[in-house]
Amino acid sequence: MSDSQPELDIRWPIGLLFAAMGVLVATYGALVSGDAHLRPLGTNLNLWWGLVMVLFGVGMILSAYRASRKQ
């Protein structure tokens, strides 16, 4: 590629994907938390893993943002 075109950092789309999917999974987990068959071991897995996905996505986005500011 030429120097005039910036390259897309792969962390942007990965971060956005994980953040969006995490919001969907966490919202689903929060809305259907009363169903007993969706709570193995007494933990709402959809809610917690949704939050983990959101945190990972935000971390990737922040990492990509910091890298773009350095250049």
pTM of the complete model beyond 0.75: yes
Cα separation of 69 and 19, whole Å?
21
**Of 53 and 30, more confident:** 53
Angle (nearest 5°) at CA 15 between 68 and 6 = 30
**Of 36 and 11, more confident:** 11
For residue 34, what is the DSSP state?
A: T
Q: Contact 62/27 with Cβ under 8 angstroms?
A: no
Closest alpha carbon to 15 in 51, 64, 69, 70: 64
Average pLDDT, the chain: 87
pLDDT digits (tens, 9 = 90+) for 6-20: 678 899 999 999 999
Cα separation of 17 and 61, whole Å?
10
